[in-house]
Structure 1
């Protein structure tokens, strides 16, 4: 509860700078990050789907961003997208999720890349996607001004395969940190690592923190408080940013 009161105070303190699009958001146990320039339309969030994706990795951020639409007048548009033909994706534990949108990074403000299948070298999941090469290639070509690419859990290894984490602060599931470091990522022991247009989060449940942090960064503390209240969940852990190192 104290954390929510603090967030409310920081929102009020930053109100004078919001109009210029330069609000710096600060929260208990977090670093600081500069919010994206004000947009006139909704925040467009694309969550990348593939066979073997971890259920909570994709559902937690979908829930957070969808709920955030109720707490910002500009709204939020959340899509599940796939680099292949729109189809029914079979998630890690067998859940079927219908994906109706194709990969279209030019239509997104934020891309979320989940993980899944790290322990299945020969089954569906991140290793199959890396071996196939289509998704890493698509991610490598996606960066542009105004787009934030994020991952959670072992989705960071897909970003690594795309060359997006090399030489940059990042994090992933604790069991995959050695892989990420070996591949050139500057691994931080934080729940969320915000390096501007690259934001990564830790293990499976950290999709909640990733979503709540980005809601706060992009839509403001009031929206994040509203979502936390709806979910009856308060973000935990530390958000690493360059200014907090």
Structure 2
């Protein structure tokens, strides 16, 4: 274990103690205890989609939250950046250069997370360019299958709209794109996160935190989500709409 991993683990364990009221030593012992063979589960496989012009905060927030969730559950969590034409280099909306080391393989994912970016700049790289090109929306439409949850945040939801994924489904997006989403057939809800089963969407640039915390809560349990909130010093905000929620 390298120093950075050790520090992150220590921080996570301390946060787990704060969130659950369990002393640090007890939290350490619980984490160190091996899971019983009967209780083992397959890893939670998360693919975060990258494209030219993707928003930095949109891609980083869900990646970090979901990656850190591994500290608060006995289930392994495998989070990867993927790109349709990957592996390849990506330049994000504000010039950050990064690389998607994994190619497109939604059949190997349990969660597919689609960030947004560039919706206000129609001629620049970003969501509009990907919609015009058509390849990513087609790939997203073809990715749907039983067992896969497709999640999107901010204007990444408009890529799902272009793919036909949100048509007739409860959903949300950035407030400036809501009219477009509704016009294209989405049933827009006034909520921070909208969970419609295999389609989960969130609205706003910072909503990647809330989307990811909700997915952790749903997939890994309340204790994992509470531990993450304590570690991140961030409390999930806004309403989560589900089919049981009042319309």
Normalised to the residue count of structure 1, the TM-score between the two structures is: 0.84
Note if 1:171 corresponds to 2:172: yes
Aligned to 1:17: none
Aligned to 1:130: 131
Query: Following the alignment from structure 2 to structure 1, what is the Cα–Cα distance between the partners of residues 191 and 75?
Result: 31
Aligned to 1:230: 231
From the CA coordinates, give the structure whose radius of gyration is larger.
2
Cα drift, residue 85 of structure 1: 2.9
Contact 2:58/2:205 (8 A) holds in 1: yes
Query: Following the alignment from structure 1 to structure 2, what is the Cα–Cα distance between the partners of residues 168 and 183?
Result: 11
Aligned to 1:180: 181
Query: Following the alignment from structure 2 to structure 1, what is the Cα–Cα distance between the partners of residues 204 and 51?
Result: 18
Aligned to 2:222: 221
Contact 1:45/1:110 (8 A) holds in 2: yes
Aligned to 1:48: 49
Q: Secondary structure at the match of 1:217?
A: helix
Cα drift, residue 88 of structure 1: 1.5
Aligned to 1:94: 95
Query: Following the alignment from structure 1 to structure 2, what is the Cα–Cα distance between the partners of residues 164 and 99?
Result: 24
- Gaps of at least 5 residues in structure 2 are 1-15, 21-38
Note if 1:118 corresponds to 2:147: no
Cα drift, residue 119 of structure 1: 1.0
CA 1:125/1:39 → structure 2, altered by over 3 Å: closer, same or farther? Answer: farther
Query: Following the alignment from structure 2 to structure 1, what is the Cα–Cα distance between the partners of residues 154 and 226?
Result: 24
| C-alpha distance after superposition, 1:54-104 (max 9, x if no partner) | 000000000100110111111210000000131111000000111100010
Q: Secondary structure at the match of 1:58?
A: helix
- Gaps of at least 5 residues in structure 1 are 9-37
Contact 2:62/2:209 (8 A) holds in 1: yes
Equivalence map 1:1-245=2 (5 Å): 40-245=41-246
Contact 1:68/1:75 (8 A) holds in 2: no
Cα drift, residue 46 of structure 1: 0.3
Contact 2:44/2:110 (8 A) holds in 1: yes
CA-based RMSD of the aligned residues comes to 1.5
Contact 1:147/1:197 (8 A) holds in 2: yes
Query: Following the alignment from structure 2 to structure 1, what is the Cα–Cα distance between the partners of residues 187 and 123?
Result: 28
How many residues were matched structurally? 211
4+ residue runs of structure 1 moved beyond 6 angstroms? none
Contact 1:165/1:185 (8 A) holds in 2: yes
Q: Secondary structure at the match of 1:204?
A: coil
More displaced stretch, 67-76 vs 191-200: 67-76
Query: Following the alignment from structure 2 to structure 1, what is the Cα–Cα distance between the partners of residues 93 and 145?
Result: 31
Normalised to the residue count of structure 2, the TM-score between the two structures is: 0.83
